[in-house]
Chains A and B, each alone.
Chain A
Amino acid sequence: AQSVTQPDIHITVSEGASLELRCNYSYGATPYLFWYVQSPGQGLQLLLKYFSGDTLVQGIKGFEAEFKRSQSSFNLRKPSVHWSDAAEYFCAVINTGTASKLTFGTGTRLQVTL
């Protein structure tokens, strides 16, 4: 079965600093990968997705992610973090055995200091 690993449980960055959140997946073929963000008390919002093609994908709110097959990674980046980016971030993969089943990583909580 496919799985995703988010090695960092908690990350703190200063406002204006760059951000990289790590995500590693395990799957033999090209996976369908997603990044979601969850603010406190809210549902999940899709930031970006990767299915195929260009390995650098742009998302909403200034986020981007790069798919690296050689490293089995799909890291999320943002050049300059804003205080409003403080939230929980989930990497997810589609289980291609069941088209609609999203498997989430354990999440990374981002704290932004002013």
Chain B
Amino acid sequence: DTEVTQTPKHLVMGMTNKKSLKCEQHMGHRAMYWYKQKAKKPPELMFVYSYEKLSINESVPSRFSPECPNSSLLNLHLHALQPEDSALYLCASSWRDSLGQPQHFGDGTRLSIL
């Protein structure tokens, strides 16, 4: 069982919808991450939060809007997505945003854009 919990597990949405992905961890980790993973590809980093502040944005389109309301919770707000945004979205956390800290992953949200 993973210690990083992501909801929902599956999400189907139209291109005009607004939805949110949620990620939660209770390990006391102060760094949290969003990754996008297309089929048969490795995960690609999207965002990094350190102490609830956005520290890295990998040039992600503005239709993806991250939010870190507290140290345990990370959201990804979705709006006006495109079919190519269909993917597995993975959340991860680590003790701190520092060199060598292993990242712990959730099981992901599989997103399908109609």
Contact of B98 among A41, A44, A100 (CB under 8 A): A100
A102 surroundings in chain B (CB, below 8 A): 43, 45, 103
Do most interface residues of chain A lie in helix, strand or loop, or is the interface mixed?
A: loop
Q: How far is the CB of B96 from chain A (nearest CB, A)?
A: 9
Instruction: Known contacts A100-B48, A100-B50, A100-B94; decide if A46 and B104 are in contact (CB<8 Å).
Output: yes
B45 surroundings in chain A (CB, below 8 A): 101-102
Interface size of B by CB at 8 A reads: 30
Contact of B101 among A36, A42, A96, A100 (CB under 8 A): A100
Segment of B12-20, B67-75, B76-84, B105-113 in the binding face = B105-113
B48 surroundings in chain A (CB, below 8 A): 100-101
Segment of A11-19, A71-79, A104-112 in the binding face = A104-112
B100 surroundings in chain A (CB, below 8 A): 32, 49, 51, 94, 99
Whether a CB of chain A sits under 8 angstroms from the CB of B21 is: no
Contact of B105 among A44, A94, A98, A101 (CB under 8 A): A44
A100 and B90 form a contact (CB under 8 A):
no
Q: How far is B99's CA from A107's CA once the two chains are assembled, in angstroms?
A: 23
Q: How far is B105's CA from A32's CA once the two chains are assembled, in angstroms?
A: 18
A104 and B94 form a contact (CB under 8 A):
no
Among the interface residues B33, B99, B100, B108, which one has the most CB atoms of the partner chain A within 10 A?
B100
Q: How far is B94's CA from A99's CA once the two chains are assembled, in angstroms?
A: 12
B99 and A32 form a contact (CB under 8 A):
yes
Q: Which chain B residues have a beta carbon within 8 Å of chain A's beta carbons?
A: 2, 4, 6, 31, 33, 40-43, 45, 48, 50, 55-56, 90, 92, 94, 97-108, 110
Q: Which chain A residues have a beta carbon within 8 Å of chain B's beta carbons?
A: 32, 34, 36, 41-46, 49, 51, 90, 94, 96, 98-102, 104-107
